[in-house]
Amino acid sequence: MITIFERMNLRDHFEEGAKLADTVLRDDAFLAAMERGAKLLVDALGSGHKILSCGNGGSMCDAMHFAEELSGRYRDDRKPFAALSLSDPSAMTCIGNDYGFEHVFARQTQALGQAGDVLLAISTSGNSANVLAAATQAKALGMGVLALTGNDGGALAGVADLEVRVPWSGYADRIQEVHVRCIHAWIHAVEQQLT
């Protein structure tokens, strides 16, 4: 008898995700980029700077999750870290209405960012116009730009100081699954180094 689990190919879904997780675990270049990303975040927070984060759709949810885990808590009780997701709906709709949607993150970056801060720019394609504009603005301010991408890295790969690219060219959900692992690993590294 075929179960609903098998009929809906749910097992395949989990197996595909596990294969990609295994691929990145065995990718020395990917893991080295992760380590450099952790150092960038630790150095910024450890020297009194802040982290801004942005993305669209599921990537915005990841950006929000990253910031709230740093300013709130991840695993253990500890001091809060200065992190903010550029996701305020009133700011986004105001900026989008007055300047255009491609500026919703750049304008907030210009208002809140300073030299020494870091922007975590999340885009599965690497080609989101508003994320690219924020990265460009961050660079102009002397901020570090850490990018989480997938596919071929898109235009964001050429703007970021450091890119962590998920080696996947299929549907974005797989890339996002690895992005969440990256975010959790970085938060854990920050907690280990700074508490």
Domain residue ranges of the chain, discontinuous segments joined by + = 4-194
What pLDDT score does 13 carry? 85
| DSSP-assigned letter for residue 95 | H
- 4-194: which CATH topology? Rossmann fold (3.40.50)
Cα torsion 175, 111, 190, 188: sign = negative
- How far apart CA 63 and CA 122 sit, in angstroms, is 7
Closest CA to 118 of 54, 40, 188: 40
Q: Where are the alpha helices (DSSP H) in 47-163?
A: 58-71, 89-99, 104-112, 129-141, 156-159
The model's pTM is 0.94
> Helix (H, G, I), strand (E, B), or coil: what is residue 4?
helix
Around 111, how many Cα atoms within 13 Å sit in the side-chain half-sphere? 11
- How far apart CA 99 and CA 111 sit, in angstroms, is 14
- How far apart CA 6 and CA 63 sit, in angstroms, is 34
- Tokens of residue 47, six digits: 């020297």
Residue segments in the chain with a per-residue pLDDT below the cut of 50 = none
What pLDDT score does 68 carry? 97
